[in-house]
Amino acid sequence: MRFAVGVVLAVFCAFACAQDLEREERLAQETLATLVVGDPIRLDQKGGHRFLGLYTRAANERGAVVIAHGRGWSPDYDLYGELRTRLADVGYSTLAIQMPVLPGTAKIGDYLSTFTDSDERFALAVAWLRAKGGRRVAIVSHSLGATMANHYLIYNKTPDVDAWVMISIINGLEDMFRIKVPVLDVFGSNDWSVTRFGGDERLAQIRRIRLGPGRHRRCRTFLRGPPRRARAEHRSLSRRGAGRQIGNSAG
C-alpha cells in the first residue's frame, strides 16, 4: 500500500512539474504577433522541441548578449523588450530567448525540474551567437531567469560566456566559486525581500570569485525606481532607475 501511494505521488509530481509547451507556444505566437524590432528565430533542442528567440543585431557590434526572462514571461515582455532593443542601440547584439514555462499555478520551487532544460537553452543560444560572429558573449538575466543562469554557469563545464549580469535574482546564489567570469548584481530598492536581504551575502560570494588574467572588476549596483514598478517577478524593474554603485571589489 505504501509503495502504491509513493508511485501515485511520484506520478502526480511529474505531471504537476511538467513543462507547459502549449502555454509556451501561445506566448510565442503572442510575441510574434506584436513584434516590431528584431528577427525571430527557432532553436532546436535534443528532444525535438523548438523554442523562440528574438535576435537584434547591433550596427557596430561591441559584443553580444543572451537575455533570459523571469518566471512565466516571454522574450519581448516589458523589461525584456526594453533590454534587447536598448542594448542593441548601444552596440550589443541581443538574443532574447524563451525560457521554460510551467502552468500558471506553478510555484518557484516547481521550476527546479526545468533547470536541465534551461541549461540546454542557454548553451544553444550562446553557440548561436558565437556562430554569428560574437567574440564576446554575456548573459543578462532577470529574476528566475537569473537563478537559471546561475545553474547554467556552475553546472556546465564550458558555459562559453564572458560575463554575467543578474537582475533581481531569486533564491540567492549557488557555488559562486565555480564561476570564472565578471558578475554584476542589480536589484531594486523595493524589490522582493528575498532579493534585497540577500544582497550582502551575494556580494560576499561575488568578492570570492577568482578571475583569470585580464579580468577586472565585479560590483553590485542598486537601482532606485518608483515602488509601483519594483516587483521583481510580477512587474519589471524600473526602466528609468538611476543606478549607483554601492559595493565593488577589484581583482
User: pLDDT tens digits, residue range 91-126?
Assistant: 999 999 999 999 999 999 999 999 999 999 999 999
φ and ψ at residue 234, rounded to 5 degrees: -100, -15
Whether the model pTM is above 0.95: no
> For residue 204, what pLDDT is reported?
85
- Note the pLDDT of residue 30: 97
Question: Residue 17's pLDDT is what?
Answer: 67
Residue 49 near residue 41 (C-beta atoms within 8 A): no
Task: Look at residue 147 in the predicted model and tell me its pLDDT.
Answer: 95
- Boundaries of every domain in the chain: 2-249
Residue 237 has pLDDT above 70, yes or no: no
Measured distance CA(102)–CA(79) in Å, rounded: 20
Q: What is the pLDDT of residue 249?
A: 26
Alpha carbon distance 97, 79 (integer Å): 13
- Residue 229 C-alpha cell reads as 514598478
Evaluate if residue 28 carries a pLDDT over 80: yes
Q: Which of the four pLDDT bands, split at 50, 70 and 90, describes residue 212?
A: low
Task: Quote the pLDDT of residue 53.
Answer: 98
- Counting residues of the chain whose pLDDT is more than 70, the rounded percentage is 76
Indicate the CATH number of 2-249 among 3.90.1520.10, 3.40.50.1820, 3.30.70.920, 3.40.50.10810: 3.40.50.1820
The per-residue pLDDT for 198 is 85
Task: Give the mean pLDDT of the chain.
Answer: 81
Q: What is the DSSP letter of 46?
A: T
Mean local confidence (pLDDT), 16-20: 79
Question: Mean pLDDT across the stretch 70-90?
Answer: 96
Q: Which three cell numbers stand for residue 118?
A: 534551461
| pLDDT of amino acid 214 | 52
